[in-house]
Amino acid sequence: MAALHDLTALEQGDLVRRGEVTPLELVEHYLARADTVGAFVTSTPERAREHARRLGARPGDAGPLWGVPTAIKDLHPTAGVRTTFGSAAYADHVPDFSDNVVLTVEGAGMPSLGKTNTPEFGSPCYTEPDVAPPAVTPWDPTRTAGGSSGGAAAAVAAGLVPLAPGSDGGGSIRIPASCCGLVGLKPTRGRISAAPMYGDPTGLATAGPLARTVRDAAALLDVLAGRRPGDHSWAPPPPMPFLGACDRDPGRLRVARFIAPVITDSDVDASSRDAWEATSALLADLGHEVDDVAVPLPREAVATFETCWAVLTAMSPAPPGTEHLLRPLTRWLADRGRAVSGPEFGSAIARMRQYAADALVALAPYDLVLTPTLATPPPLVGALRDDADPAADFEAQKRFTPWTSAWNVTGMPAVSLPLHQTAEGLPVGVMLAARPAEEHVLLAASAQLEAVRPWADRRPPGW
């Protein structure tokens, strides 16, 4: 008989709906599982139990994930719960409010087991903060889970929660999804509200789901999607529920593909190239048209992106008197950001939007765009990090992730799918992007790929 954590999130939700398991029983099941992958910064078992007890009888309008446990990335302020933002400067910080992601998840009847691990202010693509052990992939605990949603991905991949929200400003959902063998979806810009702080004037970052299956990811996106009254912009409503899109025949799609790195010159590992080629062939076998295209963003766009990234880092100051606790990479990026004048920052945002517009026009004839997710399998813990030389650290991150940030610039939805593995059994993701506001197309195609090359039964050691 399958254990509860063997089931998908939707299957667990269905058990709750049928009265065969209670939300509290699900919470207790997951609380009993040991965190050996550095998934959590702060655990909240009593809060989760209390929430599960409060759920009581299932309301008639409850969604399919009602009663299913999850966890919240430590970048999301949560009222009454220690929220460190991955930084020793905020090691004892307890907010008095919750942001939209927390409120939405709680409102959907999903008890949170705690705060998942993230690097300082969500900046690096590895998760090795000073406030928690490194987040590692359960497929090989000597290797990184990626970042910045590394803790969320590690938790889902190790069966500590069935699914979890992450956030993504340059690949921070898709990178750990690839490292941990998961589905990781960055939605369209404006699909999920950034209330109440609205702290990203560039529009690069958004929340999104991490899950073991496409359907689970779609169900969590249905929970997270929507606008709040204070939102200054938002994506148009989808033509159907995202979960429903997974049951839809995508039809014959035009798929653009490229493998040339976007943001820097990288050596593309054979496993990433093989995964890209195999997925291209699979899409063609399914009846889709696959065409080679030029890289849609010029290399000149990279400096503009980096200017915006550095200013965003500078906008996350440490509390007075704790600046010395910030990591060398954070201080280096913040110094770069503070050196940018207001007009320079405004010009950088304008240039980035023009680069995005040009890319969107170039890709408009295509329903999907295929690239690898990462240049290599997950590196060893510490292999990217270089406290002695933050500039070298930053360049190593770029070489590892030369494609993901392109879709943050354009605002297009993008997903990493765990279609492949190395000979040693490490997960290798491939990435698909779609036109803005066309997550339903992306999910339909992703579900089609999962149906012919399923991965949910792959389980890491110690599962």
At 91-126, the pLDDT tens digits run 999 999 999 999 999 999 999 999 999 999 999 999
Q: Give the side-chain half-sphere CA count within 13 A for 286.
A: 25
The Cα–Cα gap between 175 and 179 comes to 6
Domains assigned to the chain: 4-452 (3.90.1300.10)
- Active-site hit among 87, 98, 148, 149: 148
Q: Which of 22, 41, 285 is nearest to 154 (CA)?
A: 41
Across 27-36, 52-61, 77-86, 442-451, least confident range: 52-61
Give me the residue label for tokens 């900046």: 123
Task: Name the pLDDT band for 56 (thresholds 50, 70, 90).
Answer: confident
Q: Would residue 186 show up in a list of annotated catalytic residues for this protein? A: no
Work out the mean pLDDT of the chain and round it to a whole number.
98
Give me the residue label for tokens 């929220």: 83
- Active-site hit among 167, 172, 316, 405: 172
Q: Which of 269, 313, 281 is nearest to 402 (CA)?
A: 269
Predicted pLDDT of residue 193: 98
Q: Would residue 167 show up in a list of annotated catalytic residues for this protein? A: no
Contacts of 259 (CB under 8 A, 6+ apart): 268, 273, 276, 371, 372
How far are the Cα atoms of 64, 221, 303, 369, 407 from residue 283, in angstroms, in the given order?
30, 24, 34, 11, 21
Predicted pLDDT of residue 1: 63
Helix (H) / strand (E) containing 45: helix 45-55
Predicted pLDDT of residue 175: 99
Q: Would residue 398 show up in a list of annotated catalytic residues for this protein? A: no
Read off the pTM: 0.98
Mind listing the pLDDT tens digit for each residue in 271-306?
A: 999 999 999 999 999 999 999 999 999 999 999 999
Q: Which amino acid is at 376?
A: T
Q: Which amino acid is at 306?
A: E
Q: Token pair for residue 3?
A: 């254990």
Mean pLDDT in residue range 325-334: 98
How far are the Cα atoms of 408, 435, 456 from residue 423, in angstroms, in the given order?
31, 34, 18
pLDDT at 51 over 80: yes
Mean pLDDT in residue range 449-461: 97
Mind listing the pLDDT tens digit for each residue in 407-442?
A: 999 999 999 999 999 999 999 999 999 999 999 999
Give me the residue label for tokens 């049928």: 18
Task: Name the pLDDT band for 57 (thresholds 50, 70, 90).
Answer: confident
Cβ atoms < 10 Å from Cβ of 123:
25
